[in-house]
Structure 1
Amino acid sequence: MQNPTATETALSEAEVHRIREDFPILQARVNGHPLVYLDSGATSQRPLAVLDAERDYLTTLNAAVHRGAHTLAAEATDAFEDARAAVAGFVGVDDDEIVWTSNATEAVNLVAYALSNASIGRGGAAAQRLRLGAGDEIVTTEMEHHANLIPWQELAARTGATLRVIPLDDEGALRMDEAARLIGPRTKLVAVTHVSNVLGVVNPVEQIVATAREVGALVLLDACQSAPHLPLDLHALDVDFAVLSGHKMLGPTGIGALYGRRELLEAMPPFLTGGSMITTVTTTEAAYLPPPQRFEAGTQRVSQAVALAAAVRYLASIGMSRIAAHEAELGAHLVAGLSALEGVRVLGAGIDLPRVGLASFDVAGIHAHDVGQILDDAGIAVRVGHHCAQPLHRRLGVTASTRASTYLYTTRDEVDAVIAGVARAIDFFRRA
Structure 2
Amino acid sequence: MDIARATYPARMDLVRAQELWNPEPGWLNTASYGLPPRPAWEALQAALGQWQVGRTSWEGWGEQAERSRRAFAGLLGVPVGDITIGSTASQLLAPIAAALPAGTNVLAPTEEFTSNLFPWLAQGERGVRVRTVPADRLAESVDAGTDLVAFSLVQSATGAVAEYDAVVTAAREHGALVVVDASQGCGWLPFDAHLADAVVVTAYKWLMAPRGAAFAYLAPSLRERLTPSAANWYAGEDPHASYYGPPLRLAADARRFDLSPAWFCYVGAAPALELLAEIGLPAIREHNVSLANRFLAGLGRPPGDSAIVTVDVPGAEERLAAAGVRAAVRAGRVRASFHLYSTTEDVDLALSALR
Normalised TM-score (structure 2): 0.84
Equivalent-residue separation in structure 1 for 2:47 and 2:191 (angstroms)? 27
| Range 266-275 or range 285-294, more displaced | 285-294
Contact 1:328 1:355 in 2 (8 A): yes
Aligned to 1:267: 225
1:319 corresponds in structure 2 to 280
Partner of 2:101: 132
Structure 1 residue corresponding to 2:91, chosen from 106, 114, 117: 106
Give the Å deviation of 1:78.
4.3
**1:44-68, CA deviations, whole angstroms, 9 ceiling, x for partnerless residues?**
1111011123344556799xxxxxx
Tell me which moved more, 261-270 or 77-86.
77-86
Correspondence list, 1:185-196, <5 A: 185-196=144-155
Q: Which structure 2 residues correspond to residues 60-75 of structure 1 after superposition, within 5 A?
A: none
The counterpart of 1:231, out of the listed 190, 215, 228, is: 190
Contact 2:327–2:335 (Cα < 8 Å) also in 1: yes
For 1:85 and 1:143, how far apart are their aligned partners in 2? Answer: 32
Letter in 1 for 2:30: S
Corresponding position of 2:137? 175
Q: Which sections of structure 2, spanning at least 5 residues, go unmatched?
A: 1-11, 237-241
d(CA) in 2 for partners of 1:291, 1:61: 31
Give the match's secondary structure for 1:372.
helix
Query: What does the per-residue CA deviation read over 1:73-116, in whole Å, with 9 as the maximum and x for residues that have no partner?
Result: 6655544323211111111111121111112232233432xxx2
Taking every aligned residue pair, what percent have the same amino acid on both sides?
A: 27
**Range with greater deviation from structure 2 (285-294 or 371-380):** 285-294
Say what the alpha-carbon RMSD is for the aligned residues. 2.9
Matched, 1:374 2:319: yes
SS of the residue 2:84 aligns to: strand
Structure with higher Rg: it is 1
The answer to whether the 8 A contact 1:97-1:265 is kept is no
Q: Which residues in structure 2 correspond to 1:312-391 (within 5 Å)?
A: 312-339=273-300, 355-363=305-313, 366=314, 370-386=315-331
Alpha-carbon deviation of 1:255?
A: 0.6
* TM alignment of 1:28-427, pairs within 5 A: 28=24, 35-57=25-47, 78-112=63-97, 116=98, 118=99, 131-134=100-103, 136-155=104-123, 157-168=124-135, 174-175=136-137, 179-180=139-140, 182-235=141-194, 238-248=195-205, 249-277=207-235, 288-297=250-259, 299-339=260-300, 355-363=305-313, 366=314, 370-386=315-331, 400-423=332-355
* In 1, Cα distance between equivalents of 2:60 and 2:349: 47
Aligned mates of 2:291, 2:61 — CA distance in 1: 40
Conservation of the 8 A alpha-carbon contact between 2:82 and 2:220: yes
Q: Once the 2 structures are TM-superposed, how far is the Cα of residue 218 of structure 1 from its aligned partner? A: 0.8
TM-aligned CA distance change 1:61 to 1:321, over 3 Å: farther
> How far apart in 2 are the matches of 1:83 and 1:60?
20
In structure 2, give the amino acid aligned to 1:417. Answer: L
Asked if 1 retains the 8 angstrom alpha-carbon contact of 2:121 and 2:128, the reply is no
- The alpha-carbon deviation at position 403 of structure 1 amounts to 0.7
Shift of 1:296: 2.4
Give the TM-score normalised by the residue count of structure 1.
Answer: 0.70
**Matches of 1:292 and 1:301, distance apart in 2:** 18
Q: How many residues align?
A: 334
- C-alpha displacement of 1:422: 1.7
The equivalent of 1:7 in structure 2 is: none
Tell me, which stretches of 5 or more residues in structure 1 are unaligned?
Answer: 1-10, 29-34, 63-70, 119-130, 169-173, 341-348, 387-399, 424-432
| Contact 1:137/1:189 (<8 A) preserved | yes
Assess if the C-alpha contact under 8 Å between 2:77 and 2:193 holds in 1.
yes
Give the letter aligned to residue 165 of structure 1: T
